[in-house]
Chain A
Amino acid sequence: MEIKFSLNGNDVIVDVPPMKRLIDVLRDDFGLSGTKEGCGEGECGACSILLNGLPVTSCIMNAVHVIDKKVETVEYLAETELGKLLIDCFDEVNAVQCGFCFPGFVVAAYHYIKEKAEADEQEIKHALSGNICRCTGYVKVIDAVMLTCQRVKERGMR
């Protein structure tokens, strides 16, 4: 089935089985391996992408779900001004250990800051609650997002 959608700012068409999982379309057909498969059941958030601007887990979605929609992966977000800042802040507070869950956190945090940009710890915790890290914990991850919110404000990026 021909699936036409917008991927990282470009209109694309791909011929894949309609029920092919979105994560597999992104990784196999487009080589976008920043999107990671953790649990494969929508419970860990490692495979998060933005669909029409909202974070979703791509392992429990199918190619048909993105027809005529806008998909943005971590590769694309990482090149934006906000994405670069987020990654720098994660780096600065040493929030990343093994790194497997990190792309998913970037996607969820990117969406949170786009929508709110308030350095509100409870709100941030809620926004990131669909993402699981198995190495270490969430304290520094939340610090990183708080720091990003402050920088966004300081730099008038919003």
Chain B
Amino acid sequence: MNFYQPKNLSELFRYCEATDGKKYFLAGGSDINVQLKKKIITDGTVISINHLKELHGIQELDEEIVVGALTTFRELITSDIIAQYFPYFQTSLKQFGSPLLQNVATPGGNIANGSPTADAVPLLLVLNARIRILAKSKMHKLPLSDFYLGYKKFNMKPNEIIGSVHISKDAERDWQTFYRKIGSRKSLAIAKLSLAGMKRIENDKITAVKLAAGSLNEYPRRLKNTEAFLVDSNMPDEDNLRKILAEDITPISDMRSDKDYRFEVCYRLLSRFLRIE
């Protein structure tokens, strides 16, 4: 296992271009150290980027809030800017990991680790967050929903990193919001499942809805079929809602839960959310 610590981003990308083999970018360390311990990572190079100032901080621009990829969750949870624009996001993040993990873990790491259970990702998905990908030659932005291609498969090239997360300032304005994380205990639980939702209701009709689930697919993702089905509908009946939900989630059975439980709880959370006024 090799190690490299660049002084800045340009040094980082020069090194990446010149170096072959697997590369692991070290942020807060809370995922990578577990993977090292379990020997999921055994060779390649660990590149420390946690100290790079360009990747830290919360910035307010005209239209959007920019969160450096390696800002800690604690910084997000205690940020006045986040409290002002994204109270739903901030309150929901308090359920992330544990207070100890919030002090080191980062949204960049949570997104790039690609775990199906990543706590922050469903929230960012319903907020229509975009991420900025940094590379040696040019950077580009893409919707977070386009970042995942499969289990730990990303729409990103080998020598690229996530630089920042971008959320439109009005992302929460005029939406009714919902977030539930279901785990064995409140803190420290890896979610059995989670559901984030935002909706707009006029005259008992859903005029807009965004839904994202964690631990229910090979990566956290929006429930597009269910969203389309719900828009402009009155409250659907149980059978139809179950049917459409089954098109969007593919729960599995594992050490934390089984697929029937996951489906049932997801359905109930969803119907609870749809009834909340």
Which residues of A pack against B, CB within 8 Å? 1, 17-19, 21, 40-43, 45, 48, 51, 54-57, 59-62, 64-65, 67, 108, 126-127, 129-132
Select B50's contact among A19, A56, A64, A127, beta carbons within 8 Å: A64
With a cutoff of 8 Å between Cβ atoms, the chain A residues found around residue B104 in the complex are: 51, 56-57, 60-61, 65
Question: Mind listing 20 A-B residue pairs with CB under 8 Å?
Answer: A17-B3, A19-B1, A19-B46, A21-B33, A41-B33, A42-B101, A43-B98, A43-B188, A45-B100, A51-B104, A57-B30, A60-B29, A60-B34, A61-B33, A62-B29, A108-B99, A126-B94, A129-B186, A129-B188, A130-B100
Q: How far is the CA of A18 from the CA of B48 in the complex (A)?
A: 9
With a cutoff of 8 Å between Cβ atoms, the chain A residues found around residue B94 in the complex are: 126
Instruction: Assess whether B103 is in contact with A40, with CB atoms less than 8 Å apart.
Output: no
With a cutoff of 8 Å between Cβ atoms, the chain B residues found around residue A108 in the complex are: 99-100
Select A56's contact among B3, B103, B186, B188, beta carbons within 8 Å: B103
Q: How far is the CA of A67 from the CA of B7 in the complex (A)?
A: 13
Instruction: Assess whether A64 is in contact with B98, with CB atoms less than 8 Å apart.
Output: no
- Among B74-112, those with CB < 8 Å from A are 74, 94, 97-101, 103-104
With a cutoff of 8 Å between Cβ atoms, the chain B residues found around residue A67 in the complex are: 51
Shortest CB–CB separation between residue A89 and chain B, in angstroms?
Answer: 21
User: Does any Cβ of A come within 8 Å of B187's Cβ?
Assistant: yes
With a cutoff of 8 Å between Cβ atoms, the chain B residues found around residue A43 in the complex are: 98, 188
Count, chain B residues at interface, CB 8 A: 27
- Among B15-36, those with CB < 8 Å from A are 26, 28-30, 33-34, 36
Instruction: Assess whether B99 is in contact with A127, with CB atoms less than 8 Å apart.
Output: yes
Q: Is the interface of B mostly helix, strand, loop or mixed?
A: loop
Q: How many A-B residue pairs have CB under 8 A?
A: 82
Instruction: Assess whether B100 is in contact with A65, with CB atoms less than 8 Å apart.
Output: no
Instruction: Assess whether B100 is in contact with A64, with CB atoms less than 8 Å apart.
Output: no
User: Does any Cβ of A come within 8 Å of B37's Cβ?
Assistant: yes
Q: How far is the CA of A57 from the CA of B98 in the complex (A)?
A: 10
Given contacts A18-B48, A64-B50, A129-B186, whether A42 and B99 have CB atoms under 8 Å apart is no
With a cutoff of 8 Å between Cβ atoms, the chain A residues found around residue B46 in the complex are: 19
Q: How far is the CA of A132 from the CA of B187 in the complex (A)?
A: 10
With a cutoff of 8 Å between Cβ atoms, the chain A residues found around residue B98 in the complex are: 43, 45, 129-130
Select A54's contact among B5, B30, B103, beta carbons within 8 Å: B103
Q: How far is the CA of A131 from the CA of B100 in the complex (A)?
A: 9
Shortest CB–CB separation between residue B232 and chain A, in angstroms?
Answer: 41
With a cutoff of 8 Å between Cβ atoms, the chain B residues found around residue A42 in the complex are: 30, 33-34, 100-101
With a cutoff of 8 Å between Cβ atoms, the chain A residues found around residue B97 in the complex are: 130
Given contacts A21-B33, A64-B50, whether A55 and B103 have CB atoms under 8 Å apart is yes
Q: How far is the CA of A56 from the CA of B102 in the complex (A)?
A: 9
With a cutoff of 8 Å between Cβ atoms, the chain B residues found around residue A45 in the complex are: 98, 100
With a cutoff of 8 Å between Cβ atoms, the chain B residues found around residue A60 in the complex are: 29-30, 33-34, 104
Shortest CB–CB separation between residue A102 and chain B, in angstroms?
Answer: 16
With a cutoff of 8 Å between Cβ atoms, the chain B residues found around residue A62 in the complex are: 26, 29, 33
Given contacts A42-B100, A42-B101, A56-B104, whether A132 and B29 have CB atoms under 8 Å apart is no
With a cutoff of 8 Å between Cβ atoms, the chain A residues found around residue B29 in the complex are: 60-62, 65
